[in-house]
Chain A
Amino acid sequence: MSAARGQRAAFRRRQDLFRWVVVTVVVLFFLAPLAGSLDFTTRDAGGHRSTQTWSTLLDVGAISSRYPDLQTGFLASAGLAVLTPAIMLLLLVPTMTWVRLRVPGASRLVEFLCLLPLTVPAIVLVVGLTPVYAWVTYFLGESTIWLAFAYVVLVLPYAYRSLDAGLRAIDVRTLSEAARSLGAGWLTVMVRVILPNVRTAVLSASFLAVALTLGEFTIASLFSRTNLQVAMYLLGKSDAQISVAVGLAFLVFSFVVLFALSFAGGQRGAVAPLARLRRPRKEPS
């Protein structure tokens, strides 16, 4: 008996050791470039320590006067981070609900179209979107904000999977029939019955859309629009320190948000789009 317990304990100790060694090595690799960035942004021209870069970054007035690109890019990305999830939700939630209720025959086609962007990398999408954006520019003007149309396509597969899982978990048909029989119109069904029931899925889909939007470079750069990433790229050529500092601040901020969310019962891996592709787990039978 005690021999078996001794064996267990030895196994545990080996496992603990293994865990700490692996985690330490990988985390060191993860932290090296971040430490490099921190080191780089806290040096002045003479190689001495200085907090110049970071204090400039905190000074909104200095940023907007000395780095107009950064200001433009930041504002554009902020706008995109609102517009992209908004269009995505307006497009997907009603359509997916409606398809479940009234036109179930179209569900395979909707799924196919939503997952199609997985096989179309952003760089390929740019090639195909060039003529389409010529029209967008013609009708709506050249503002960066219209990139949101393309970003919605990029988030489509991940948002679809999230919302599909949410809608699958509730009985859309019964809920809407109950509401309809009590005299609710379709709008009421959508806003007051369906939406509150899938709010977790809606939140995680929107979160993904925001994360993807803030990190997008390919489309914006090739269409010569300035969003946050493009601004960082442009700045990297003139004032690399500020650019690296913005990147680092952005990363630390996202990490703090995610880490806090993990305690608030947020969903695991919510920001990595590709991870959300996994099919929803089947219920144990």
Chain B
Amino acid sequence: MADARLRRAFGGRRPSGALLGVVPFFAYVTVFLVIPTLVVVFGAFVGHDGGLTLANVRALGNPAVTSALWHSVILSAVTAVAGAVIGAVLAYAVSTGRPDGILKRFITSLSGVLAQFGGVALAFAFLATFSAEGYLTKLLTSAGLNSNGGLWLYEWNQGLMLVYLYFQIPLMLIVFLPAVEGLKPQWREAAETLGGSTFVYWRKVAGPILLPSFIGGLLLLFTNAFSAYATAAALVSQGSPLLPLAIGNTLSSEVVLGQENVGKAMALEMVVVVAIVMTAYVLLDRRASRWLVR
């Protein structure tokens, strides 16, 4: 199979000894990437008796699955928008400082770590802080601001959003900082010389230049939240309000027969969403990189 594909890549020319050099790579990728992808794509259309069926895809219409997808989309969209806006403002603030200053080094290093800090450790850190015993909860309770004792943390549309923001903002800073640093001071001076105010500068010069980068960052944040599993898994112990959790559930529970392939259908659904967003990102990034020349 890999062979036929290779030959096609060479426009039907006879494979020579040079091809041997790429065999290990293609073999590895076939086993660990292409086969798993095909397993998901075809598994979605196979019933538990082994025959072709649309039952798994139809099962995606179940209220439990549609609500999981819906929750995932909302959670990702909200944290992507909020993370992108806050991260972009932070990036701009950092870019106004000295280019090699301590502040910038500190913020970029911190963001580099925090963007990766998702998962179990992050969930536990938030539990330690905001759960019923956490110090911020106690602080808020004593100030009379808190009524339900930290239970909000486990809700997908409250606590999880806050936790996701914790890795979305740093990611936006890292992705967006090169774009704001690409703004040349001469552009602002030119706008001022021609009598433009700060508002006009942002509206007519900086805004349009940064927009593709901003939306690109937003899309990246969306897929980042949409595919995240670990943080939610460590925080939510009951039910599966999000699509990744629902997929994980079909793998670990052996209660319902044939549930496995419904999991593959859900996985396929996820791939479709991510693929659409990622394609849009790649197109936008090409547009954005035009202004990144320095």
Contacts and interface: CB of A to CB of B under 8 A. Distances in A.
A271 interface: yes
B175 interface: yes
Contact of B36 (A109, A125, A254, A270): A125
Contacts of B86: 26
Contact of B120 (A98, A119, A153, A229): A229
B36 to A, nearest CB: 3
A222 B33 contact: no
Interface string A96-122: 001100110110111001001111111
B171 A275 contact: yes
Interface stretch (B51-59, B63-71, B204-212, B225-233): B225-233
Most interface-central of A33, A126, A153, A240 (chain B CB within 10 A): A33
A122 B230 CA distance: 10
B5 A132 contact: no
A262 interface: yes
Interface in B219-245: 220, 223-224, 226-227, 229-230, 233-234, 244
A247 interface: yes
Contacts of A18: 93, 96
Contacts of B267: 123-124, 127-128
A217 B119 contact: yes
Q: Which of A37, A243, A272 has the most CB of B within 10 A?
A: A272
Interface in B94-128: 94, 96-97, 103, 105-122, 124-128
A269 B21 contact: no
* Interface of chain A, main secondary structure: helix
Interface in B1-57: 5-6, 9-11, 18-19, 21-22, 24-26, 28-29, 31-40, 43
B95 to A, nearest CB: 9
Contact of B124 (A35, A37, A109): A37
Contacts of B256: none
B42 to A, nearest CB: 10
Given A130-B251, A232-B124, A272 B174 contact: yes
A279 interface: yes
Nearest to A92: B25
B254 to A, nearest CB: 13
B271 A119 contact: yes
B289 A106 contact: no
Contact of B125 (A37, A102, A274): A37
B284 to A, nearest CB: 11
Contacts of B289: 278-279, 281-282
A197 interface: no
B121 A124 contact: no
Contact of A121 (B21, B251, B274): B274
A246 B53 CA distance: 47
B129 interface: yes
B36 A129 contact: yes
A187 B259 CA distance: 50
B248 A123 contact: yes
A132 B28 CA distance: 12
Interface of A: 15-16, 18-19, 22-23, 26-27, 29-30, 32-37, 39-41, 91-92, 94-95, 98-99, 102-103, 105-106, 108-110, 113, 116-132, 149-150, 152-153, 156, 211-212, 215, 217-218, 221-222, 229, 232-233, 236, 240, 243-244, 246-248, 250-251, 254-255, 258-259, 261-263, 268-275, 277-279, 281-284
20 contacts: A19-B97, A33-B130, A36-B130, A102-B18, A103-B22, A117-B33, A119-B271, A121-B270, A123-B247, A124-B271, A126-B251, A127-B247, A130-B39, A153-B29, A217-B234, A218-B233, A258-B109, A262-B108, A275-B115, A281-B292
Given A95-B21, A127-B251, 4 more contacts: A15-B96, A37-B125, A110-B22, A156-B33
